[in-house]
Structure 1
Amino acid sequence: MPKVFTQIVVSLTVCGFVLSPALSWAATNQAKTDQAGPKQSAKARETRAASLSAKRAARQAAKQAARQSGPGTNVKNASSGPIVPAAEELKVLHLLNRITYGPTTADMARVEAMGVDKYIDQQLEPQSIQLPEAIVKYTNAPALKESPANLFLSYGRDAFGEMAKAARKKGAGGGTDVAVKKEIQQLLRDNYQELYGQTTDARLMRALYSPRQLEEVMTEFWFNHFNVSIDKGLDHLWVGSYEENAIRPYALGKFRDLLGATAHHAAMLFYLDNWQNTAPNRAPLRPGQKNKKFAGLNENYARELMELHTLGVDGGYKQADVIELARVLTGHGIVSKRSIAQQPAGMQSKFGYSFDPNRHDFGDKVLLGRTIKGRGVEELEEALDELSKHPSTARFISFKLAQYFTADEPSPVLVNKLASTFTTTDGDIKEVMRTLLKSPEFWDSRNVNAKFKSPYRYLLSSLRASQATVSNTKPLLGFLKLQGMPLYQCQTPDGYKNTEKAWLSSGGLLQRITFATALGANRNPAARISSVSTDEIMKVAGVKPTDKTGQVVVSSPRSLQISLLFGSPEFMKY
């Protein structure tokens, strides 16, 4: 494998990849290893010579890149100058690159037969597209279907209360409290891994094989926007429920509904500590009771609700507004073990939400200059209404969508169009997306291949392009972790970025080349490629035999061609 890797690296350097210095370094390093023995083989000498030649070519490529923009590097200029529509033959590829996790030959044929506009309209109505049974089975996993309360009782620490008692009575086994504790900890880890596996399997398999591709893309987009992490305590129980019940149903619906669903789900309320948010002067429920977990006002969720979820960091709010919104949010928390039996059907059981009036601040609040009368639960609904309708929210959401679907620095004209649609449709995400996908700015040739793939998109697009059959998702999760994008594990509330600056690095690129080498050689333990041809992958990658990359690919050994395509500069972009 190392020598195959070296060949691929050298060939890619010839293609003029912008990161070729890093690739050359890897090739040179491997060449030194090959010739480190007492006798240097002719093959090793050839490899070293090729590496040095590639290194020189890399320097020239780097200088050239400094003088002129390469593919996708001119996004800063995409907002100025006249729009030049993409060539007709590129439109299908461009559309599929943006609203799916990578084109397949079957998808390209489908769009060519339907027409671009009809395909967009169909994807905007995901419920009109039937899901294969092979996909539906993943949606029935307990991690996605069970309520947060049931997940807590069935998979959390309380599930082993009786087991702990029984284990202590094991006279023959000589069990001790320490041994029992270790056993329960292991069982808990097993449970958490089971839920995580169900959640990640559902996400990856749907992203790979669901015909509702735009729904999958939008679900990931909104999860990052309203990010929570499995690494935060009880959220390892609830992330699957959160995505399935608070994100996915509203991914192409009304923004206000999406905002409300995330604001009432246990995963969000726990992640940003609002379950502890309590009116500062709340009296103890019992004489002498100490308020440990509920010691006072917690501003975490209030701040992120405005800065990250609605208005944006420059949205016009002040610290005083954060405090007032935190007061509105007091008492809004997660269902407790004690109150599970009393929870009615609906939002409480579906989202694991609970309101405790004993911890709520019932005083009047002034949020963004508007008075909210103190009256309990209704205060939050009024606050969410105001935040979702605020002009800053329309601009902030529109900018993020334009950045995700067009260019890292999107056209202000497009952002204004989207904000206008957002406002006039009362935050209808579907209509905002329709405006975006049918805008001249989306089809501007300067936005074609202007985006650099995140690790998640690179992984999925390579598997889709190769028509690979995935039998084990664990190696895929390992690749994402290696790339710095472990699924559901972004620690910060702003979620993973989707810009070139966030993901373009020499180390990350080398890891992708390693992945491409294994996948192309059918040595990836997660997936197998059976019948796809080089020509098919070249088509979905947008590589022509007459291009520099195409010439390198077709002149290379057949065993290297797929790996070369997945490591090519064209395939890193979309």
Structure 2
Amino acid sequence: MTSRLRCGPQLAAGLGRATSLVLALAIAAPAGATVRRPATADEDARIVHALSRLTFGPRPGDVEAVRAMGLERWIDQQLHPEKIADPDLAPRLASLSTLRMSTSEILKGYDPPPELKREIQKKRAELGDNASEEDMRKARRELAAEYKGQMAGPPKQVVDELQQAKLLRAVYSDRQLDEVLVDFWMNHFNVFAGKGQDKFLLTAYERDVIRPHAWGRFEDLLKATAESPAMLFYLDNWLSTDPSANPQDIRRAMAEEEGMAPRRPARGFGGFGRRRGFGSAPGMRPNGRPAAQQAKKAGLNENYAREIMELHTLGVDGGYTQKDVTEVARCLTGWTIGGLRRQDPHFVYLDAAHDHGDKVVLGHKIKSAGMKEGQGIIHMLATSPATAHFVSYKLARRFVADEPPASLVDRAAATFRKTDGDIREVVRTILTSPEFFAPESRQAKVKTPFEFVVSAVRASGADVSDATALTQRVAQMGMPLYQQQPPTGYKDTAEAWVSTSGLLARLNFALDLAAGRVRGVTVAAGGLAPRAGDGAMLADALAARLVPAGLSESTLKTLESQSGQGLDAARVAGLILGSPEFQRR
């Protein structure tokens, strides 16, 4: 690491000692470590805490701005993002053209044409099983170049732009709590971009499904995700049919929906048949079985039924059985994706594919009612007391602590039940609670890699002209955006992210960021503490600017001991951004 800094032997040794100490402190530092804070009022400490949880980290001047507005008023404002003007964000996103495209436009512009896909398959066969991934990448690039005129851009561009937009919104949006909550729901209702065509469906999923419903009724959000082509494809419900249904009837029904003549089914895809690009290359299930093998079997598919109960609503201890999973899957047969031949995927219900028998779910008898059965299941799950508790627990874990107080979870769940699942009111209950502001809740959460990178950019006042390198750094820390394969999403608890290698990657990034070595990002480190001089004064001034919550005595002594050995403001700032306290929020 020190070789990357291109410093002399004595300075390198000093920086190496500081780095080792900061890493050791970061791994060992408990949540309640003694912190040396500036002489601020308790209200300022509350403001700093709120900024660390309701935003992706305070920027220079944020504490003063919230103090001037009043903390309670600022929290209420963040709870109503639709009332916050956000004029500076749109220009940052202007160059990311796919964000404004419909799914149809994305598929027509970025999904490789069938001829190119056949050429790639042919080349793969020619290279054989022993071909390296690099050989295949080279072959794909060469073949894609021949079809460049038929495409608006490579498929990778769609996910790349989503990743950049996510990071830019988190850094620059004034609707910070909105971005935090959208991030929460995207993780709660996780969809893996690496599964086949989902890379082309995710743009609309976030823009048209998650964002419009992030603050409304939980039932509306759940229904919107259930009907989303991205979720239907990811968890295979689009392939789920009544095993006794007549395949010819299903094909006729889909052809009527498509406005086209029925096709003969592709082998292994039951009544739906293979539609361009769909049904291929699914990911692995958490139990290790290839979802592709499950998806290609005709008939009932239980993947989504299991996850809607275990991960989206009731929770793993929510009181359901394997029989309930099967019965829910039966209720949701026929919920599928139409418009695929026209490259315009959308939700459709095919009655011909539905299991019309009676069902029993969680002790409730479900009479045969076609699409209404699935709608009834969504209502039943969304309004269950177990769902109120599970969702409230996850929200409290995100905003308060890895193990949130039971009293707070119970009150949030009561709000959930009383307000018919009003997400805004549940979040308000959490953010205005005594438990949220309790001293033991402060600095109690370890930042995920995404939170860490964004908070460092915000704290340093960096200007981002190209977010690509930042998204790559997040991926290198173990959190590639939109690329979590299992439906569980990324963990938001400390044990998932605290390791020597992970913290070293964070410290390397912090040092590179402060030194201006991250492509597309500009930091004026010298302007962070322009009149501080050097030595202990420099360390104190930079710490106050970058970590308003304060540094522990041990961390500050480490920095002060090194800042007098020739380290400039950029290197001291990098060490502070890599410090144990900056890893926490």
Q: TM-score, normalised by structure 1?
A: 0.80
* Residues 73, 546 of structure 1: alpha-carbon distance in 2 compared, 3 angstrom cutoff: closer
> Matched residues, percent identical?
40
Q: Which residue of 1 aligns with 2:161?
A: 198
Q: For 2:475 and 2:117, how far apart are their aligned partners in 1?
A: 36
CA distance in 1 between partners of 2:299 and 2:26 (Å): 51
Q: In structure 2, the residue corresponding to 1:71 is in which secondary structure?
A: coil
Paired residue secondary structure (1:308) = helix
Distance 1:550 1:454, change over 3 A: same
Task: For residue 328 of structure 1, report the CA deviation from its aligned partner.
Answer: 1.2
For 2:579 and 2:559, locate their aligned partners in 1 and report how far apart those are by CA, in whole Å: 9
Question: Any idea what SS the aligned residue of 1:191 has?
Answer: coil
Contact 1:148 1:352 in 2 (8 A): no
CA contact (8 A) 1:278 1:298 kept: yes
Asked if structure 2 preserves the Cα contact closer than 8 Å seen for 1:135 and 1:205, the reply is no
Give the AA of the match of 1:417: R
Q: How is 1:125-524 mapped onto 2 (pairs within 5 angstroms)?
A: 125-135=80-90, 138=93, 141=96, 143-158=98-113, 183-184=146-147, 190-285=153-248, 292-294=268-270, 295-338=298-341, 352-524=346-518
Number of equivalent positions: 494
1:568 pairs with 2:579:
yes
- Decide whether aligned partners of structure 1 residues 537 and 522 sit closer, same or farther in structure 2, where only a CA change above 3 A counts: farther
Alpha carbons of 1:359 and 1:182: their partners in 2 closer, same or farther (altered >3 Å)? farther
Residue 31 of structure 2 corresponds to residue 71 of structure 1: yes
CA displacement, residues 332-391 of structure 1 (integer Å, 9 cap, x when unaligned): 111233466xxxxxxxx7x72122222111222221111222222222111111100001
Whole-angstrom CA distance in 1 between matches of 2:196 and 2:118: 22
Q: Indicate the SS of the match to 2:44.
A: helix
Distance 2:86 2:102 in 1: 23
Q: CA deviation at 1:551?
A: 4.1
Q: For 1:162 and 1:243, locate their aligned partners in 2 and report how far apart those are by CA, in whole Å.
A: 27
- Find the counterpart in structure 1 of residue 63 from structure 2: 108
Q: Deviations over 1:480-530 (max 9, x none)?
A: 221110010001100000110000000001111111111121122131112
Q: CA deviation at 1:567?
A: 1.1
Matched, 1:532 2:528: yes
Aligned to 1:285, the other structure's residue is in SS state helix
- SS at the partner of 1:441? helix
* Structure 1: tracts of 5 or more residues without a match: 21-61, 75-85, 165-177, 341-348
- Matched residues in 1 for 2:308 and 2:543: separation? 43
Gap change, CA 1:547 and 1:489, over 3 Å in 2: same
Q: Could you give the per-residue CA deviations for residues 80-124 of structure 1, whole angstroms, max 9, x where no partner exists?
A: xxxxxx943311110000010001122212111111110110000
In 2 relative to 1, CA 457–324 (structure 1 residues): closer, same or farther, beyond 3 Å? Answer: same
Q: 2: CA distance between counterparts of 1:162 and 1:307?
A: 36
Matched, 1:2 2:5: no
- The question of whether the paired residues in 2 share the 8 Å contact of 1:149 and 1:335 is answered with no
Q: Does 1:122 align with 2:77?
A: yes
Report the TM-score, using the length of structure 2 for normalisation.
0.78
Contact in 1 for aligned 2:559/2:572 (Cα 8 Å)? yes
CA distance in 1, matches of 2:500, 2:143: 47
Contact 2:25-2:555 at 8 Å conserved across structures: no
Q: Is 1:549 the counterpart of 2:555 in the alignment? A: yes
CA distance in 1, matches of 2:354, 2:50: 48
